[in-house]
Amino acid sequence: MQPRTECRFARALCAIWAAHSYKMNSMLPFAMDESAMSSPKINPVSRPTLPSQVVKEDEPALVAAAQAGQIEAFETLVERYERKIFRLTLNITQNREDAEDAMQEAFLKAFEHLSEFQGNSRFYTWLVRIAVNQALMKLRKRRPNQISLDAEVDTGEDTIPREVEDWGPSPEDRYEQTELSGILSEVIAELEPPFRIVFQLRDIEELSTEETAEALGLSVPAVKSRLLRARLKLRQKLTRYFRRSENR
Amino acid sequence: MNCKTLVIELEHYLDEELDASVRASIEEHLLKCKKCRVIVNTTKKTIEIYCNAEPAPLPEETRSRLHDALAKRLRRAHP
């Protein structure tokens, strides 16, 4: 297992691309909401503290112990990340059985290749790369047709929503956690895989643009253009649920 | 700065990757353009809502199968 094999990732993505037309749907027209917020000042995106950001004091020691053969140390690392890795493989494969297999294989491969982990990146990032590879292989098996991943993503006029509709009060306050999770899963599942995967790695797992590009065998500009598309499409799709006029 | 340029710069703006002059020009545009304010705010909220969402609980049987498979593999490596 070589986590940095960009070509393999690229081939896997090429495979899943087959089922999807690269011609993007233009944004749906929305009615402009005149009650849009009055303040122009936008604060930076507020993110929680994720394991990917936290260099837990014990992590290098845990990895070193696991590399030295201490099973308990590796088990601790598995327990720390198993839920996130399962979410990752589930979002990529959109199939519970494949997601479980990909997660299992990712942890097994991580263990087998632990000696190759040099500590040049975060352990979590390294693990994410392995899990993405496993999940993409599952997708490729289900969608074996080949098509170029490098088809152009138009970031021109049709990227811009022609009309927009504002959202109402905070979705977290309007929906129960379970209901909200259901909406988020349903909406992200509607994205074509390359957009979904780039969004997943950049905005959910919080890999850097460069790390995402490396993990997927894409160029940095390709990651950026897909991320912009993914964010705008998700925003548009979520508006169905969160718009101000919705009586919640 | 116009709406098209703003959308193209949107991710750099949200990720705070812009220099001060471009940022200032975006914020000047946002003062005048309600549509762009909605786009920027709801896109920002989209990112936040996803990255703040807790992963769903791992089903116990899935977790159990994972740990069984790992235990088997780990025992083989370190009998």
pLDDT digits (tens, 9 = 90+) for A96-140: 999 999 999 999 999 999 999 988 888 988 999 999 999 988 988
In a domain, A200, yes or no: yes
Residue spans of beta strands (DSSP E) within A76-221? none
Which range marks the domain in which residue A101 is found? 6-33+55-242
Cα separation, A199 vs A178, in Å, equals 22
Instruction: Please give the residue of chain A at the shortest CA–CA distance from B58.
Output: A83
pLDDT digits (tens, 9 = 90+) for A45-91: 666 554 444 456 788 889 999 999 888 899 999 999 999 999 999 98
Q: How many domains, in total, are found in chain A?
A: 1
Q: What's the CATH number where A202 sits?
A: 1.10.1740.10
- Domains of chain B, by residue range, sit at 3-77
> Is the confidence metric ipTM above 0.90 for this complex?
no
Nearest C-alpha of chain A: how many angstroms from B21? Answer: 15
pTM score = 0.76
| Alpha-carbon distances of A109 from A115, A201, B35, rounded to whole Å | 11, 20, 48
* A&B contacts, CB < 8 Å: 157
With CB atoms and an 8 Å threshold, state whether B45 touches A36. Answer: no
Q: What percent of chain A has pLDDT over 70?
A: 67
pLDDT digits (tens, 9 = 90+) for A169-178: 888 888 888 8
CA angle B79–A78–A91, rounded 5-degree value: 135
Q: Which chain A positions have a beta carbon within 8 Å of B34's beta carbon?
A: 32, 34, 36
User: For B23-33, b where at least 16 C-beta lie within 10 A, e where not — what string?
Assistant: eeebeebbeeb
